[in-house]
Amino acid sequence: MKGWIIRLVVFATIWICFLVENIEDDLTFSLLLIGCAISFAMYFFLPVMKNPVWLYVFLHSLHFSLLFLKVDFAWIWLFVLYITMEAVFQLRARAYRFFVAYSFILIVLLCILKQEWQLTFLFITCFFLFLALRLHQYVGEREEQREMYEHLLTEYRNVKRLNLENERVARLEERTRIARDMHDSVGHKLTALLMQVEMLSIQNRSTDYADLKQLALQSLEETRMAVKTLKHEEVAGIASVLQLIRKLEAENHLLVRFTTKQGVLMTELTNVQSVVLYRSIQEGLTNVMKHSPSKKVEVTLGRSAIGDIEWVIANPISHPNSFEIGFGLTAMRERVEEQGGRLRIYQTDQEFIIEGSMPVKEKAS
């Protein structure tokens, strides 16, 4: 924005000096004011147009037409060169080469019509246009480097986020394994011990086993609390999907339309199911970020008629092309199928769609 303001000030300064020089002739000055208004109107539209090459051509033609007002042709030459330099920051390589050629033709016509300083102006013009082409090439390279840097920065953030998620999932799986082992070994043995103490107290009809029974009960309760603590995770199941969507929206500017159906938010998933669901939606959204030009995506979670959890990830496409299922989507399908589910990946004329479903297992107590 700052650069555009500076260029606008330079353009306005040229026009002011041009008008001041021709202020004595009322008719010429009036026509120049009209030309100035039209010129600025087109100039203000340049930044908002996607490919303004023809607007630049019209702007050149307008300035060239001022020659018929019998003004000093050096001003026309200055306008042509300045607009050529201005286009460096707006036009792509092919369009800019065409515009430079058009500028050179106008300068040649200008010299032929006026027949003044032809060689001098042509030499200066050729040198200036050469510098403009080199500057445009430099600007293009810098823009390409900037885009590459932003792309690498985005990839770095994605890799860093994936590493953090992998660490979190690994910790969750390890805690789940430890909790399961404690539940299956220590918990069951304490329960068996408690039953044995209870039977001994009944058989011997003695109260001497009360302290031992109370100690076994306390140990069993503490074991259950430890197992519950190990199994506890701040973000799991459907909540982890919500956190993933919020994070991707913030970091990658995705526009996610998230829809839940049929009471899916009340569904309790096992740790393995939570990981599979999380990874599936994560891979689907990552696939959108990598391969789709659109940043819009729809994610739908629901329950089927038989109680399976279902999810759909759909993003619009403009030009349907043949696609191959990559490693990430293949691994995602294998994870879902290991849980007895299925995954469909296909595209229509308007959308690329990933549909998945997985039976919901009861959580172990």
Can you give the pLDDT of all 365 residues of the chain as single tens digits?
A: 677 788 888 888 888 888 888 777 778 788 888 888 888 888 888 877 777 888 888 888 888 887 777 777 778 778 888 888 888 887 888 888 888 888 888 777 777 776 655 677 777 878 888 888 888 888 888 888 888 888 888 888 777 877 777 777 777 777 777 777 776 677 777 777 778 877 777 777 666 677 777 777 777 777 777 766 665 554 456 777 777 777 777 766 778 888 888 777 777 777 778 888 888 888 888 877 777 777 788 999 888 888 888 999 998 887 777 777 877 788 888 889 988 999 998 888 888 889 999 998 755 44
For residue 1, the model assigns a pLDDT of: 63
Tokens of 236: 């799991």
* SS3 category, 265: helix
Q: Are residues 174 and 201 in the same domain?
A: yes
Residue 100 contacts residue 133 (beta carbons within 8 Å):
yes
Closest among 248, 268, 186 to 222, alpha carbons compared: 186
For residue 365, the model assigns a pLDDT of: 43
User: Which of 84, 116, 148 lies at the terminal end of a domain, its last residue?
Assistant: 116
Write b or e for each residue in 113-140: b if 16 or more Cβ atoms lie within 10 A of its Cβ, otherwise e.
Answer: ebeeeeeebeeebeebbeebbeebeeee
Give the integer Cα–Cα distance in Å for 86 and 39: 14
* SS3 category, 52: coil
Q: Are residues 304 and 206 in the same domain?
A: no
**Domain containing residue 276:** 238-358
For residue 364, the model assigns a pLDDT of: 44
For residue 232, the model assigns a pLDDT of: 57
Position 140 in a domain: no
Give the integer Cα–Cα distance in Å for 219 and 95: 80
Q: Are residues 264 and 209 in the same domain?
A: no
- How many domains does the chain fold into? 3
Tokens of 314: 């759909």
Q: Are residues 242 and 324 in the same domain?
A: yes
For residue 206, the model assigns a pLDDT of: 65
For residue 355, the model assigns a pLDDT of: 92
Residue 213 contacts residue 196 (beta carbons within 8 Å):
no
User: Which of 231, 265, 284 lies at the terminal end of a domain, its last residue?
Assistant: 231
pTM of the model: 0.43
Closest among 135, 138, 50 to 91, alpha carbons compared: 50
In this structure, the chain runs to a length of 365
What residue type is 78 in one-letter code? L
Check which CATH number belongs to the domain holding 243 and give it: 3.30.565.10
Tokens of 89: 């920051």
Q: Are residues 305 and 217 in the same domain?
A: no
For residue 217, the model assigns a pLDDT of: 78
Position 313 in a domain: yes
Helix (H) / strand (E) containing 275: helix 271-291
For residue 312, the model assigns a pLDDT of: 92
Q: Are residues 28 and 87 in the same domain?
A: yes
Q: Are residues 206 and 112 in the same domain?
A: no
